[in-house]
Chains A and B, each alone.
Chain A
Amino acid sequence: MPLLAVNNLHTFFKTREGEVRAVDGVSFTIDRGTMLGIVGESGCGKSVTMLSIMGLIELPGRVVDGSAVFQGRDLLKLKGATLEDIRGHEIGMIFQDPMTSLNPTLTIGTQITETLRRHLGMSKQQARKRAIELLQEVHIPNASSRLDDYPHRYSGGMRQRVMIAIAISCNPKLLIADEPTTALDVTVQAGVLDLLHELRSEHEMAVIIITHDMGVVAETANDILVMYAGQVVEHASAYDLFDRPEHPYTEALLEALPQVEGEGIRDGRLRSIPGRPPDLIDPPKGCRFAPRCAYAGLDDCAVVQPELREIRPGHWVRSRHPASERVAQPVGVG
């Protein structure tokens, strides 16, 4: 049984212009101790998917349909208090911007210990002791003396480490990291990623890492899920996805990735993907990638929505024109 099985999740946002279908039928599973990377452009619904699972969607947003079964319980149907018991205890979450994710008016110590005391019922002293250990575990120097500092005394990278310490403090089964390195300097990004991997093996956690950067998940994720316009467009093992990408969008994402070495190094130019993601209030009838896709127009895929299908064992793709089935050249390309 998978640790978490998300099935047919729909989350919509009501706006003046209409209903935004931010997450439109997303399904995936993740097993214990594994790592799943969710990749996509900003606005593709990857963060909203995670917030929906955590029950953190606020009005005007609403989870309309679907289920998220975590250890036998559907998170989407749990009442507030029960869900609160799971959040931060069995599922930890860290966010994109460490500069704004910590409360500026409370000490780091308070913000770590309150989770410990809430979920594990520790006394003040116990929680404090544990908090120091946690800070050491995320490699914060002079942990004991920095416990009473306020967040503004920490750098961005350090704050993200504190966020990680809070998220893992109760030994969660699942850690959700929503773009954990996007807001950080390039020089500290690698450190934070290394830390995540280190902690994953130590704590035997499953990790979902959300990113728009294929490079972040290339080496470490077991599986990769590519999202586009609120839908899953490709889902495969990392190895298979990088080796034989099928969806034209995934191909484009990989081509946008700078390559420094290795065979098949391109002529030095990065490709960008022409066009913009579609309007999710009134999404395209057929394939949502069709307006930007070089292969669209060969058949009716721009009118009829393609299904997510298993093109080979463990490799799912939502396209009529996956790489391995292609015969024709892209339209308009020589």
Chain B
Amino acid sequence: MLKFIVRRALWTIPVVLLVVFMTFVMMRQIKGNPFQVTERAVPVSIQRNLDRKYHLNKPWYTQYLYYVKGVFTADLGPSLVQRNQGVNDIIKEHFPVSLKLGGLAMLWAVVFGIPLGIIAALKQNSVFDYAVMTVVNSGYAIPNFLIATLLIYFFALKWRAYTPFPTNGWGGPSSWVLPAIALGHAPMTFFARIVRGSMLETLQQDYIRTAKAKGLRWRRVVGLHVLRNSLIPAVTAAAPLLGFLITGSFIVETIFGIPGIGKYFVTSVTGRDYSVTMGITIMLSLIIIVANLVVDILYGYLDPRTRDVRT
């Protein structure tokens, strides 16, 4: 098991290098020196100093090495627009907010999605099952900007008297509820669908018939034999889900005016603050790479077959 974890962890290094390289190459394709897009013309001497300071006068591979070194020493360089701030500062300031929002959304998704999926599967073709499936289908079809907007429209405006949620900002717990639901809705329905589907599939398996033939109590058959096998897909799905959560946070943070990393990413793109764009992209990718690593290890723990075959 340990060997598996180590090998899997080592494999992330080339992946990180590849992602950094791709991002770096892509960012270099964007035309123009970042300092020249600003409205004010910068004197040539200052331009040269800036270039030197940020290694912009070096060949691209040197720049790349500098950047890789930066990534591994957790220094993502300065912001190109906000002169006094480094990308690190910006991430440090905005990331905790996003982390909290994402965590709450995930909590919402897991706490409601998994039980819904389990009950729907156990009561297949019942009214409850149909109701869950309707909500689930709405979850991936309705874009989350509509869900976010409607949540604000009803809970923060229409029914303001009964449901005291603010329309935007990131203050106390009451301001966390609506964004977390808006962001967590799609993952919630996703969990419900995955768990329901894999439960139904697992219930058909031969080994479940064996468990019943052994005379085990229904509780144990479902609680151990069925759940253990049908939660595996839910765990493996959690990593790509994170990618979706990130995408969704761009929208939800923008709509609710939450000072998180997603909103700042959008700002950095429109403001052409490329080093911030790049820094955030790499950081988000790193998070996903690590999440994949964790999921693979968890998967290895849950499904013993993979321990022997996987690298």
With a cutoff of 8 Å between Cβ atoms, the chain B residues found around residue A92 in the complex are: 213
Given A152-B305, A152-B308, does the pair A103, B207 have CB atoms closer than 8 Å? Answer: yes
How many angstroms from the CA of A163 to the CA of B206 in the assembled complex? 12
B174-228 with Cβ < 8 A to chain A: 205-207, 209-218, 220, 224-225, 228
Give the residue name and chain of the A residue nearest to B125 (CB).
A59
Report whether B217 and A100 are in contact in the complex, using a CB–CB cutoff of 8 Å. Answer: no
Q: Are A88 and B214 in contact (CB under 8 A)?
A: yes
The number of residues on chain B lying at the interface, defined by a beta carbon within 8 Å of a beta carbon of chain A, is 24
Q: Are B224 and A106 in contact (CB under 8 A)?
A: yes
Bound complex: CA A92 to CA B212 (Å): 11
Residue from the list B210, B214, B218, B228 in contact with A105, Cβ < 8 A: B228
In this assembly, does A326 line the interface, its C-beta being within 8 Å of a C-beta of chain B? no
A100 engages B205 (CB within 8 Å): yes
A85 at the interface (CB under 8 A from B): yes
Does A275 count as interface, using CB distance less than 8 angstroms? no
A148-179 to B contact mask, C-beta < 8 Å, 1/0: 00101100000000010010000000000000
Known: A104-B305, A152-B305. A87 touches B205 (CB 8 A): no
Residues 47-105 of A at the B interface (beta carbon under 8 Å): 54, 56, 80-81, 84-89, 92-93, 95, 97, 100-105
- Jot down 11 A-B pairs with beta carbons below 8 A, ordered by A: A81-B217, A85-B215, A97-B206, A103-B211, A103-B225, A103-B229, A105-B303, A118-B216, A118-B217, A163-B210, A166-B214
User: Beyond the given A95-B213, A101-B210, A103-B210, could you list 9 further A-B residue pairs with CB under 8 A, ordered by the A residue number?
Assistant: A56-B209, A84-B218, A85-B215, A88-B213, A100-B206, A103-B229, A104-B207, A105-B232, A115-B214
A87 near B214 with CB under 8 A, answer: yes
Q: Which of B215, B218, B224 contacts A115 (CB 8 A)?
A: B215
Query: Within 8 Å CB of B32, what residues of A?
Result: none
Q: Is B304 an interface residue (CB 8 A)?
A: yes
A114 at the interface (CB under 8 A from B): yes
Residues of B within 8 A of A115 (CB): 214-216
Q: Does B242 lie at the interface of the complex (its beta carbon under 8 Å from any beta carbon of A)?
A: no
Contact residue among A84, A89, A105 (Cβ-Cβ distance under 8 Å from B304): A105
Q: How far apart sit A85 and B228, CA to CA, in the bound complex (Å)?
A: 24
CB neighbours of B228 from chain A (8 A): 103, 105-106
**In the complex, A106 Cα to B302 Cα: how many Å?**
9
Chain A residues proximal to chain B, CB less than 8 Å: 54, 56, 80-81, 84-89, 92-93, 95, 97, 100-106, 114-115, 118-119, 150, 152-153, 163, 166
| A327 vs B214: C-alpha distance when bound (angstroms) | 51
> A285 vs B285: C-alpha distance in the bound complex, in angstroms?
69
| A101/B215 contact (C-beta < 8 A), A106-B224, A114-B220, A150-B305 known | no
| Most-contacted residue by chain A among B211, B214, B302, B308 (CB, 10 A) | B214
By beta carbon, the residue of chain A nearest B208 is A103
Query: A80 with B213: in contact, given A103-B207, A150-B304 (CB under 8 Å)?
Result: no
Whether B303 and A104, one on each chain, are in contact in the complex, defined by CB atoms closer than 8 angstroms, is yes
B304 contacts A152, C-beta separation under 8 Å: yes
For the complex of A and B, list the 6 residue pairs with the smallest distance between their C-beta atoms, beginning with the closest: A88-B215, A87-B215, A88-B214, A150-B304, A100-B206, A103-B207
* B-side contacts of A85, CB under 8 Å: 215
* Cβ contact of A104, chosen from B214, B220, B229, cutoff 8 A: B229
CB of B214 within 8 A of CB of A118, answer: yes
Would A102 and B218 be within 8 Å (CB), given that A56-B212, A56-B213, A152-B308 are in contact? no
Contact B215 A95 (CB under 8 A): no
Let me know if B218 and A80 touch, CB within 8 A: yes
- Alpha-carbon distance between A80 and B221 when the two chains are bound, in angstroms: 13
Q: State A153–B305 Cα separation when bound (angstroms).
A: 8
A76: min CB distance to chain B, Å? 16
Beta-carbon contact of B206 and A95 below 8 Å: yes
Q: Are A88 and B229 in contact (CB under 8 A)?
A: no
A119-B215 contact given A103-B210, A163-B210, CB 8 Å threshold: yes
Instruction: Determine the residue in chain A with the shortest Cβ distance to B303.
Output: A105
